[in-house]
């Protein structure tokens, strides 16, 4: 019986030491990870800004799809918006940033994070994947099904229909959202 208590005590001590080490590693790395995430988001915002001036971020707690909105200006006049959009793909939650002109037409899109399948849904991280959405929205439609794409574009999303659908529905929602914002 003493052996069981001795083994349990040793295992307990090992677990306690491991917990302390993990807590220390987390305290050292958490700020660096947060800083890295912030720099990646800033680079993504610059990439989708379309050369416009980026305004101040406003959070939107009225929508599950839009996390925040950032006005874009040119020479002090409203030119459009950047939205952080939440979508759901095959692997779960996805975050992307998209810029729109005042009419709701997509200027640029960039994937921020996802858990999609490597080699299939992960293709959405490639900038050329988002090209099919640029110039859509506004007066036209955002393609929300593969039948609305050219055959080459449809082949590019083949095998990742859930990913494509999640992204396209979020972008379509964003287009409608921006049209409702107007020049505000």
Q: What is the pLDDT along the chain (184 residues), one digit of tens a residue?
A: 788 888 999 999 999 999 999 999 999 999 998 898 888 888 888 989 989 999 999 998 888 999 999 999 999 898 999 999 999 888 889 899 999 999 999 999 998 887 777 766 666 777 778 888 888 888 888 877 776 776 676 666 666 678 888 888 999 999 999 988 865 5
CA 97 to chain centre: 6
Residues 114 and 91 sit within 8 Å (Cβ to Cβ): yes
Give the per-residue pLDDT at 65: 92
Q: What is the rounded distance in angstroms from the CA atom of residue 81 to the CA atom of residue 178?
A: 7
Rounded to 10 degrees, the C-alpha dihedral 32/38/42/47 comes to 80
Give me the residue spans of the domains in the chain: 49-181
pLDDT of the residue at 99: 95
Question: What does the alpha-carbon distance between residue 58 and residue 70 come to, in Å, rounded to a whole number?
Answer: 6
With 0-12 / 13-18 / 19 or more C-beta atoms within 10 angstroms meaning exposed / middle / buried, residue 18 is exposed
CA distance 58 to 71: 9
What torsion, rounded to 10 degrees, do the Cα atoms 65, 70, 138, 141 define? -30
pTM: 0.78
Task: DSSP letter for 157, please.
Answer: T
Alpha-carbon gap, residue 133 to 145, rounded angstroms: 12
β-strand 92-101 against 58-59: which pairing, if any?
Answer: unpaired
In this prediction, residue 138 carries a pLDDT of 84
Q: What pLDDT score does 147 carry? A: 67
């Amino acid at each position: 019986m003493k052996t069981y208590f001795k083994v349990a005590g040793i295992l307990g001590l090992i677990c306690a030491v491991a917990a302390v080490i993990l807590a220390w590693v987390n305290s050292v790395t958490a700020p660096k990870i947060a800083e890295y995430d912030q720099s990646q988001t800033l680079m993504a915002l610059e990439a989708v800004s379309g050369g416009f001036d980026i305004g101040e971020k406003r959070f939107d707690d009225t929508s599950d799809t839009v996390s925040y909105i950032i006005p874009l200006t040119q020479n002090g006049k409203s030119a459009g918006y950047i939205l952080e959009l939440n979508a759901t793909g095959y692997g779960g939650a996805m975050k992307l940033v998209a810029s729109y002109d005042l009419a709701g037409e997509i200027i640029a899109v960039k994937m921020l994070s996802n858990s999609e399948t490597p080699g299939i849904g992960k293709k959405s991280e490639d900038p050329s994947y988002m090209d099919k959405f640029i110039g859509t929205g506004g007066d036209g439609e955002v393609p929300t099904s593969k039948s609305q794409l050219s055959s080459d574009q449809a082949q590019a999303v083949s095998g990742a229909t859930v990913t494509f659908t999640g992204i396209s529905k979020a972008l379509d929602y964003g287009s409608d959202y921006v049209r409702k914002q107007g020049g505000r």
